Amino acid sequence: MKNRQLAPLSPPAALAPLLAAAVLAGACGGHGNGFGAGREPVREETPREGTEAAQPAVGRASSIRADCAIPEGLLFTGEGLTLPAVVAGDEIEAEQARATVELARTGDVLVRFEIEIANRSAAAATALAGFAYRASDTGAPRPEPMAGVLLESPGAAARSCRAPGPAEMKQPFVDVAHWIEIDVPAGGRTTVSGMYKAAVTRADKPATLFGYRDRFADNWRNWDWPYTKAPEYQPVAERLRPFHGEIALIPAASTRVTLQCREREDWLRTMSHEQNVQKLRTPGAYEWTFADGDRPSRLGFEFLPDLPVEEEIEVFERLVAARKNDLRARIRLADLLRFGGDAARRAEVLAGLLQAWPANAKAQLLEGRNDVRAGACVGRVVSLRAAGKNAAAKKAAAEGVKLLAGFETTGEGERNGLALSWLSAVAEGAR
């Protein structure tokens, strides 16, 4: 079989654990139905809502099996959450990919997924779906990026494998994979579904910009300009420790990803690709929807359970008033107003941000991959529309198109291209 990898769209950033520093929930193991091949018997039941986080078991060198093999073509994941990769020939297509990411106030997440797979040929075909990652196998036991992995498909049995990492690597690693082999009849369809538990990173200050990773957030302490050093910030300094994460997508004709807060409270502070987000009726639940042409490689988000958004808005209103050229303070305020404020005020904040950007971005390390003006342009248009100012929104979309025309739109600049396409459609009246 000639394998075609319907894996997450972006190449793996590193062959390291997805969330090596995070605390995972449950033990990484099988769930009956053939899943435990080549492993110790299952020690944990399927994840249940409300269960407390626990350190998952980590395989040591003594428990690694050398007589199992990770399927060829099952790419290693990079950093972050992910949908299962689908490895198949050209006749197999993923028609729909759906995922629900349930957020707990501890930073633990439960990811449920379902992928509909179609065979476009006149002959039966086989596909693999699953996960592969590289975990450290040295020193004290460390959390693994996934726990309680469950994979199901009608008539198929799931498998897993732990094998030694490449001998040439300087540090001992173990390669781990969970997969399921699926037979798809000629012209037929089937589904693969399942779940896993993981955890996202907690920061000691905001670490995203319009849902995209702030490339210099970890270096703020080395600079004099961050708002975290301002007196206006101090009332929330000890409590503003948000969780942030990413989920990698796979090629599919349509994709839907739902974020929901386990306690049905609205903890979200920002989500990337705002043009594709809608709020659901369930409190604290939002959903991205994508067609094949507007699907990004990754989605980013940030949430904060323990600080009321209204209090945070008050703090950042004072920060913006005191630090008129602080671009990150304006970005944070705009993100907060999206989830707990006035749409017209948010559009005003974003207009001011775009105006202040050219003179301040370089000094504040907001150039290149950290230039998030595409998110600002989209947010401004969305906010103007929400405020009932449709003519102003159309004009703002045209201004956004002009601004982003010279931006990189592929690779790291993918978000610019997707925003530009959407803004162009709004400016032309097609959306």
How far apart CA 117 and CA 420 sit, in angstroms, is 31
Residue 343 backbone dihedrals phi, psi, to 5 degrees: -65, -40
Model confidence over 177-201: pLDDT tens digits? 999 999 999 999 999 999 999 999 9
pTM for the predicted model, two decimal places: 0.84
Confidence of residue 88 (pLDDT cuts 50, 70, 90): very high
**Percent of the chain having pLDDT more than 70?**
82
Q: Where are the alpha helices (DSSP H) in 210-342?
A: 309-322, 327-340
Mean pLDDT of all residues in 126-131:
95
**Domains parsed from the chain with CATH numbers:** 4-199 (no CATH), 234-240+305-427 (1.25.40)
pLDDT on residue 51: 31
Query: Quick check: 19 and 143 in contact, CB under 8 A?
Result: yes
pLDDT on residue 50: 33
Residue 167 backbone dihedrals phi, psi, to 5 degrees: -65, -25
Query: Which pair of tokens denotes residue 239?
Result: 């409590």
Mean pLDDT of all residues in 393-411:
96
Residue from 365, 334, 364 nearest 351 by CA? 334
How far apart CA 92 and CA 113 sit, in angstroms, is 19
pLDDT at 1 over 70: no
Mean pLDDT of all residues in 254-279:
96
Confidence of residue 109 (pLDDT cuts 50, 70, 90): very high
